[in-house]
Amino acid sequence: MHTMPNSIQSSESNPDIILDVRKLRTSFRIAGEWHAAVRDISFTLRRNETLALVGESGCGKSVTALSVLDLVPSQNGRIEAEQIQFNGRNLLGLSEDEMREIRGNRISMIFQEPMTALNPVLSVGHQVAEALLYHRDMNKEEANRAALELLDQVKIPSASSRFKEYPHQFSGGMRQRVMIAMALACRPDIILADEPTTALDVTIQSQILALLGELKRDTGMSLIFITHNLGVVASIADRVAVMYAGNIVEIADVDSLFAHPTHPYTEALMRSIPRSDRDTETLHSIPGQVPPISRMPDGCRFAARCDLARPICRKLDPALQQINAGSTHEVACWVRGDHDLTAIEDRANG
Amino acid sequence: MADTLLRIENIKKFFHVKRGFPVAKTMTVRAVDGVSFEVKRGRSFGLVGESGCGKSTLGRALLRLVEPDSGSVTFDGQDVLSTNASDMRALRQRMQIIFQDPYSSLNPRKRIGAALVEPLLVHGLADKRQAHERVLKLLDEVGLPPDAANRFPHEFSGGQRQRIGIARALTVGPELIVADEPVSALDVSIQAQILLLLRELQESHNLSFVFISHDLGVVRFFCQDMAVMYLGRIVETGPIPRIFEEPLHPYTHILRDASPVPDPRQSRKFLHIEGEVPSAVNPPSGCHFHPRCPYAADICKKVSPDWHQVDAERGVACHLFDTGNTGPDYPKR
């Protein structure tokens, strides 16, 4: 029904692609029934690229990151996919031991609230050194020395005197720097950053974003940056995937996305942000709310809140498709996508 | 020019906390340290600043939800701080508050209808039957269905709960609402719904707002005037958008430029910002902002800057502005 765009077709042949996720579906059991929180999403991440996953609460952006690292609780959660190809190797079906070799080593993660992610009874220096002791053939002294360098690298002032201090002695911004140092410790290929600046004040947020940008440039790593803030996306992303109710509804280069938001949801989101750099006459609010996971409608999940919705939108689920031939800008929308709508509607009607 | 509804003069609120181990020392947190501003009738006044700057304490202090140590609050000509308990109750009908997280301010075991009827009965504004009708009308005004009255707080989403919080504040027919980060916990699409609702209600009820927020975009949209706070003090006040277009205080300038805007062409440059917000327990000497200020001179380290009223609408507390010694680098758009 739709053609696979070039960016998705070619992973084995393209050494530039570090992560290639195809048809990822992560479901959770709620009251005895399985519901998909992430529904058949596909995306690729290039080397030294920052891909932002953006969307509102519950859209599945965090679950996507957790699924890549197989960190979804196995009792009530289930990950299915065609592949999660990392560096030419499929992560699906790896044993827990094999995954442990990847986590924190080749792919690491930064969380929103560093205080809950750091161990309150261990010194920060110890926690940064821990990953090195585990994954690298280093003795304690070497690991400590490397950890100190890392704390310097993330610009913690007077790192050597603060090495033995505990998380509670650090401010929110400094704790996030410690988290970044931990994530960086093994020189990973990818860092998954889940709302890393959401809990921070804007001046501190600006410092952390600048730091992540610098580290990405200097180390050549790739970044998946999860956020709900389109302003942050604009300042850090190379490419952006907009998620809604478990689907990627639009994916594009950052400039293209902001210049031509094509999915009605993306467009509405952009128009609902009051801006600090210019007067906003009226805000465009999106009526209604995201449907609950247990009562997702058929067809496009945004249709009920969409001004442009047509009968087909409530019946059939649109797939991601290039907005025009050869473009890397893709959208999942019957109305705004490059479709022959009449033909599709005729076919759907019988 | 609209008349002044609320005048705050030199409000101070210090907290005394015990810190340290094994021998705890009493320290003073100067949460609000001599703050003055005015709110005009029918307008919204934004209080902006980063966490710990004292903006929420100030919002509570002016309603006497925490008792200020000194200063004065004048509401519609009435001295709020010297008002006795029974007159204060009457005054509270006219001054209300909306919180960031309405869920924690709602009784989880009380149906929404009962929660909204209560203030009407407490203030003797209606008998039971009238109160019920008023509540249904309020629910409709804030965009909730009538059957919401029979449901419990946990049955609502974040945006709906904020609508309930707004309805609760409106029950007693206030003229002034202190809104403390009312949309910060909400997703952007819901945030826009609530902001539009507040604006609509402001018009239909002729409300004035003290609007506390850390989000400059939200304040620019909703307010006509604003003050920027840093460590318990106001560093700059002025009308919107003038204060955005030409910030006079270096901190206002930095705050503006650090606020992310959804435009990749503008957002690529990160400005260099020194350090973090120092603790209000032990604030820096002189101008509190001097350790982070790229333009700080010697005097800034020693002497706290006086308030400089620039014109009828604008004021700033900055030595560099006083002396005119702002140099070529001084923030200008």
Three-state SS across B79-109?
A: ECCCCCHHHHHHHHCCEEEECCCHHHHCCCC
For residue A283, list chain B residues with Cβ-Cβ distance below 8 A: 192, 195-196, 221
pLDDT 10s digits, B165-185:
999 999 999 999 999 999 998
pLDDT 10s digits, A85-101:
999 999 998 999 999 99
In Å, how far is B8's CA from the nearest CA of chain A? Answer: 26
In a domain? residue A277:
yes
Residue pair B15/B58 in contact (Cβ under 8 Å)? The answer is no
Instruction: Indicate yes or no: CB of B191 within 8 angstroms of CB of A255.
Output: no
**Residue B155 DSSP symbol:** G
Chain A residues whose C-beta sits inside 8 Å of any chain B C-beta? 56-57, 171, 173-174, 201-207, 209-210, 213, 228-235, 237, 254-255, 258, 268-270, 272-277, 279-280, 282-287, 289
Same domain, B29 and B153: no
How far is residue A251's CA from residue B74's CA, in Å, rounded to a whole number? 54
Kindly tell me if the per-residue pLDDT of B153 is higher than 90: yes
Closest CA to A194 of A25, A67, A320, A94: A67
pLDDT of residue B297: 87
In a domain? residue B99:
no
Structure tokens that stand for A110 in this block: 């930064």
How far is residue B311's CA from residue B325's CA, in Å, rounded to a whole number? 19
Q: What share of chain A is helix, strand, coil (3-state, %, to 5)?
A: 35, 20, 40
- Continuous segment of H or E residues that includes residue A42: strand A33-46
Strands A239-244 and A50-54: parallel
In a domain? residue A31:
yes
Same domain, A314 and A198: yes
pLDDT band of B270, cuts 50, 70, 90: low
pLDDT 10s digits, A178-213:
999 999 999 999 999 999 998 888 999 999 999 999
In a domain? residue B117:
yes
- Continuous segment of H or E residues that includes residue B256: helix B250-258
Same domain, B298 and B232: yes
Give me the CATH number covering residue B39: 3.40.50.300
The rounded mean pLDDT for chain B is 90
**Residue B153 DSSP symbol:** G
Same domain, A91 and A209: yes
For residue B255, list chain A residues with Cβ-Cβ distance below 8 A: 202-203
Kindly tell me if the per-residue pLDDT of B310 is higher than 70: yes
Q: Give the mean pLDDT of A135-152.
A: 93
Instruction: Indicate yes or no: CB of B189 within 8 angstroms of CB of A56.
Output: yes
Same domain, B152 and B36: no
pLDDT 10s digits, A244-267:
999 999 999 999 999 999 999 999
Q: Give the mean pLDDT of B271-297.
A: 85
Same domain, B86 and B216: yes
Amino acid at B164: I
Same domain, B154 and B301: no
For residue A276, list chain B residues with Cβ-Cβ distance below 8 A: 215-217, 220, 244, 256, 259, 261
pLDDT of residue A251: 97
Give the range among A322-326, B61-65, B202-206, B241-245 with minimum mean pLDDT.
A322-326
Same domain, B220 and B169: no
In DSSP terms, B8 is beta-bridged to B37, B73
Q: Is A209 helix (H, G, I), strand (E, B) or coil?
A: helix
Closest CA to A56 of A228, A233, A199, A257: A228
Residue pair B202/B179 in contact (Cβ under 8 Å)? The answer is no
Same domain, A232 and A101: yes
**Residue A187 DSSP symbol:** -
Same domain, B213 and B317: yes
pLDDT of residue B326: 52
Residues 6+ apart with CB under 8 A from A31: A294
pLDDT of residue B141: 94
Q: Tell me the C-alpha to C-alpha distance, in Å, between residue B28 and each of B19, B22, B33, B36, B256.
A: 10, 19, 11, 21, 30
The count of other CB atoms within 10 Å of the CB of residue B323 is 10
pLDDT band of A6, cuts 50, 70, 90: very low
Same domain, B72 and B165: no
The count of other CB atoms within 10 Å of the CB of residue B310 is 13
Instruction: Indicate yes or no: CB of A258 within 8 angstroms of CB of B190.
Output: no
In DSSP terms, A28 is beta-bridged to A35, A77
Q: Tell me the C-alpha to C-alpha distance, in Å, between residue A217 and each of A214, A221, A236.
A: 5, 8, 12
For residue A285, list chain B residues with Cβ-Cβ distance below 8 A: 189-190, 192-193, 195-196
Same domain, B158 and B181: no
Same domain, A99 and A231: yes
- Continuous segment of H or E residues that includes residue B15: strand B4-19
For residue A270, list chain B residues with Cβ-Cβ distance below 8 A: 262
Kindly tell me if the per-residue pLDDT of A28 is higher than 90: yes
In a domain? residue B89:
yes
How far is residue A253's CA from residue A263's CA, in Å, rounded to a whole number? 14
Instruction: Indicate yes or no: CB of B214 within 8 angstroms of CB of A201.
Output: yes
In a domain? residue B223:
yes
Range of the domain at B237: 4-94+177-323
Name the domain boundary from A166, A187, A208: A187
In a domain? residue B195:
yes
Amino acid at B214: H
Q: In this complex, which of A201, A255, A274 lies closest to B195 when CB atoms are compared?
A: A274
Strands B208-213 and B176-180: parallel
Closest CA to B248 of B200, B186, B320, B301: B320
Report phi then psi at A293, rounded to 5. Answer: -60, -30
Q: Tell me the C-alpha to C-alpha distance, in Å, between residue A256 and each of A29, A276, B266.
A: 38, 22, 14
Phi-psi region for residue B232, left (φ > 0), alpha (ψ -120 to 50) or beta?
left
Name the domain boundary from A157, A187, A217: A187
Radius of gyration of chain B (CA): 21
Same domain, B248 and B195: yes
Q: Give the mean pLDDT of B237-262.
A: 92
pLDDT of residue A219: 95
Structure tokens that stand for A220 in this block: 């050549």
How far is residue B281's CA from residue B284's CA, in Å, rounded to a whole number? 10
DSSP string, B168-200: HHHTT--SEEEEESTTTTS-HHHHHHHHHHHHH
Q: What ipTM, to 2 d.p.? A: 0.88
Range of the domain at A130: 114-187
pLDDT band of A338, cuts 50, 70, 90: confident
Residue pair A230/A215 in contact (Cβ under 8 Å)? The answer is no
pLDDT 10s digits, A32-68:
999 999 999 999 999 999 999 999 988 999 999 999 9
In a domain? residue B331:
no
Instruction: Indicate yes or no: CB of B276 within 8 angstroms of CB of A204.
Output: yes
For residue A232, list chain B residues with Cβ-Cβ distance below 8 A: 260
Report phi then psi at A6, rounded to 5. Answer: -55, -40
The rounded mean pLDDT for chain A is 91
Name the domain boundary from B155, B173, B191: B173
Same domain, A344 and A234: yes
Q: In this complex, which of B51, B260, B272 lies closest to A229 when CB atoms are compared?
A: B260
Same domain, A122 and A132: yes
Same domain, A89 and A66: yes
pLDDT of residue A12: 54
In a domain? residue A45:
yes
pLDDT of residue B302: 93
Q: Which of A70-74, B194-198, B276-280 has the highest mean pLDDT?
A: B194-198
Do you find a cis peptide bond into B241, omega within 30 degrees of 0?
yes
In a domain? residue A1:
no
Q: Give the mean pLDDT of A225-229.
A: 95
For residue A201, list chain B residues with Cβ-Cβ distance below 8 A: 50-51, 214, 277
pLDDT of residue A7: 45
Three-state SS across B280-315?
A: CCCCCCCCCCHHHCCCCCHHHHHCCCCCEECCCCCE
Same domain, A55 and A162: no
pLDDT 10s digits, B66-89:
999 999 999 999 999 999 999 998
pLDDT band of A288, cuts 50, 70, 90: confident
Name the domain boundary from A187, A212, A234: A187
pLDDT of residue B267: 65
Q: What angle do CA B300, B301, B306 make, to 5 degrees?
A: 40
pLDDT 10s digits, B183-203:
998 999 899 999 999 999 999
Instruction: Indicate yes or no: CB of A203 within 8 angstroms of CB of B261.
Output: no
Number of domains in chain A: 2
Three-state SS across A98-164?
A: HHHHHECCCEEEECCCHHHHCCCCCCHHHHHHHHHHHHCCCCHHHHHHHHHHHHHHCCCCCHHHHCC
The count of other CB atoms within 10 Å of the CB of residue A338 is 14
Give the range among A87-96, A282-291, B247-256 with minimum mean pLDDT.
A282-291
Q: Give the mean pLDDT of B267-294.
A: 82
Same domain, B200 and B164: no
Establish if B190 touches chain A: CB-CB under 8 angstroms.
Answer: yes
pLDDT of residue B144: 94
Nearest chain B residue (CA) to A204: B276
Q: Tell me the C-alpha to C-alpha distance, in Å, between residue A321 and each of A12, B45, B180, B259.
A: 21, 46, 43, 33
In a domain? residue A240:
yes
Structure tokens that stand for A27 in this block: 């479901």
In DSSP terms, B12 is beta-bridged to B33, B70
Same domain, A19 and A43: yes
Q: Residue A117, Cα to own-chain centre: how many angstroms?
A: 18
Same domain, A203 and A293: yes
Establish if B145 touches chain A: CB-CB under 8 angstroms.
Answer: no
In Å, how far is B254's CA from the nearest CA of chain A? Answer: 8
Same domain, B223 and B288: yes
Give me the CATH number covering residue A21: 3.40.50.300
Name the domain boundary from B122, B143, B173: B173
Establish if B321 touches chain A: CB-CB under 8 angstroms.
Answer: no
For residue B195, list chain A residues with Cβ-Cβ distance below 8 A: 274, 283, 285
Same domain, A221 and A308: yes
Number of domains in chain B: 2
Same domain, A231 and A324: yes
